[in-house]
Amino acid sequence: MTIGFRVRNRDRVIDQEWIDKFRELPVANISDSMHRLYAGGAQLRPMHREGKLVGRALTVKAPPGDNLMLHKAMDMAVDGDVIVMDAGGDVTHALMGEMMLDYAHRRGVVGFVLNGAIRDADAFLEMNIPSYAIGVTHRGPYKNGPGEINTPIAIGGMVIMPGDLIVGDADGVVVVPIDDAAEVYDRTVAKHVAEQKQIEAIKAGTHNPTWFNDALAKGGCELPSTN
């Protein structure tokens, strides 16, 4: 195998414990807990009807509009995998449609993150398998290759290593690196609890945010006199 045309197995994957724990946490809070630096970008939008995406990354790198390696990745997938594919952000040709979605689901794939387009959009809504892409087109893909499987990829600045934790909801997608899962989980839970307290305070009419005054203080400024 040469660079640009490689198929590898994953050396490690996120433990099921973390998949179960992160399933209940909002993507926005997870992202905030990583200083908003591990998000897939606003272009990745849900193509399914509803539901959470949580699973292990099986990564694919391919030329724009080519799904040869996506087919291979589906054959390699095991229960709980999320296929994450960087195809250069091109939306001229769809990377997959209804038949591939059905096949992958039967293989145990729990979702997709595609830096490219899909087709058969109604089927994605009907089957409701958590899937994210950046566009929709009826034009089908090529199957020429080359490409890579289970090598590092990046989508919208989000770097994904094979086996990393992928989490998606209606707001978009984030990646949690394997080695950082415990820290990110603790920070996310703490933020979620703090936000729930803020929501309760807002409902009770006792919420008194200090962000504006804090920002003024940091800048060495004072509010003008009201006289």
In the chain (227 residues long), the average pLDDT of successive 10-residue segments reads: 94 98 97 94 96 98 98 98 98 98 98 98 98 98 97 95 98 98 98 92 87 76 60
pLDDT digits (tens, 9 = 90+) for 51-92: 999 999 999 999 999 999 999 999 999 999 999 999 999 999
Q: Are 52 and 170 in contact (CB under 8 A)?
A: no
Give CA–CA dist 76/78, Å, rounded: 7
Structure tokens at 179: 């080695």
Give CA–CA dist 7/76, Å, rounded: 10
Q: What is the pLDDT of residue 219?
A: 75
Q: Are 115 and 88 in contact (CB under 8 A)?
A: yes
Q: What is the pLDDT of residue 226?
A: 57
Which among 151, 169, 168 has a CA at the least distance from the CA of 160? 151
